[in-house]
Amino acid sequence: MAVLCLGRVSLYSVRGDLQLYVEDMEPQGQGALFVAFEQLKIKLAAEGLFAPQRKKPLPVVPSSIGMVTSDRGAALHDMLRIVCDRYPDRRIVIRPVKVQGEGAAREIADAIAELNRFGAVDVMIVGRGGGSLEDLWAFNEEVVARAIYASNVPVISAVGHEIDFTIADFVADHRAPTPTAAAEMVVPLKADLLDQVRALDDQLMRDMELVLESSKETFRGLAKRLADPGRKLRENQQRLDETSVALVRRIEARMRQVRDRLAQSAGRLGALSPLAVLDRGYSITHKLPDERIVKDAASLAIDDRVRITFALGKLLCRVEGKE
């Protein structure tokens, strides 16, 4: 380590050696407080308290502003002046605390928690004016860092001057170089907001014009591709007429084919019909009463009753003999 040594210098006359008698020694730089600062910073960073993704955005124009600071310091006066000049109708909730000395860190942490429980502030400024490292040390305490981390309300850290950095600055959602800058950050100038609105309005108009022009181009392209609906209707009507004629012709042809096949089938069926045989002089004999066709004379007995069917008419007969 590089260290700062405090002591006295003497000369050992026997050998001519220059000697340093060290009476106190501390780390080079800000001393023990600086070492504690770096150690806590490393610890909290490892736990994720400084992670950018957990930081909350500030409201555009908050209706209620919480201030955790000394009620006797110039920092509070400067912040009130900025807010009241720009937005005199804003509600300001002041939670006075000790900002240095014993017990200051605990008071600051409790005040942050109280404003969260109060639930009526949209944003919170935690800070004080400038001073030495020892004066600002309350904002380097772990209890303050964890209170800021646990806050549901966005916190702006505004401690000291622009060159001063504290643990609270790293944990807070936003860091302001001074309390005055914090107030300016919370309530921007109305002129700046109007400029932003005008810029957004101009951008919106440009985007709308681009979309409209693109839509016009698309419409023109579709209009070129779209044919005359009347002509399209006439073409479809002509196609429908042609299809109807073709369909009628196919139906008629199909019906002719069916009639021809039916006539052929009827002819073949007529040739096979027993009635056609009767036309050639034959007859059909049925035994009564069971109507069995008689194919063999031996199946009949004397006095059996039969019905004989001719091509024209029928006879009821009785068997008198067999041959």
Is the CB of residue 54 less than 8 Å from the CB of residue 39? Answer: no
Q: How many angstroms separate the CA atoms of 94 and 115, rounded?
A: 9
- Listed range (115-124, 225-234, 263-272, 309-318) with the worst mean pLDDT: 225-234
**pLDDT range class, residue 22, cuts 50, 70, 90:** very high
Q: What is the mean pLDDT of the chain?
A: 89
Locate tokens 């209707």: which residue?
233
Is the model's pLDDT at 62 over the cut of 70?
yes
Amino acid type, 280: R
Amino acid type, 51: A
Handedness of CA 146, 167, 76, 196 (dihedral sign): negative
**pLDDT range class, residue 31, cuts 50, 70, 90:** low
Is the model's pLDDT at 29 over the cut of 70?
no
Residue 221: the pLDDT is 83
The answer to pTM > 0.85 is no
The structural domains of the chain, with segments of one domain joined by +, span 52-188, 190-249, 277-318
**pLDDT range class, residue 227, cuts 50, 70, 90:** low
Domain spanning 52-188: CATH superfamily: Hypothetical protein af1403; domain 2 (3.40.50.10550)
Pairing relation of β-strands 155-159 and 174-175? parallel
How much is the average pLDDT of 206-227? 85
* Token output for 169: 């600055």
The model's pLDDT over 69-90, given as tens digits with 9 standing for 90+, comes to 999 889 999 999 999 999 999 9
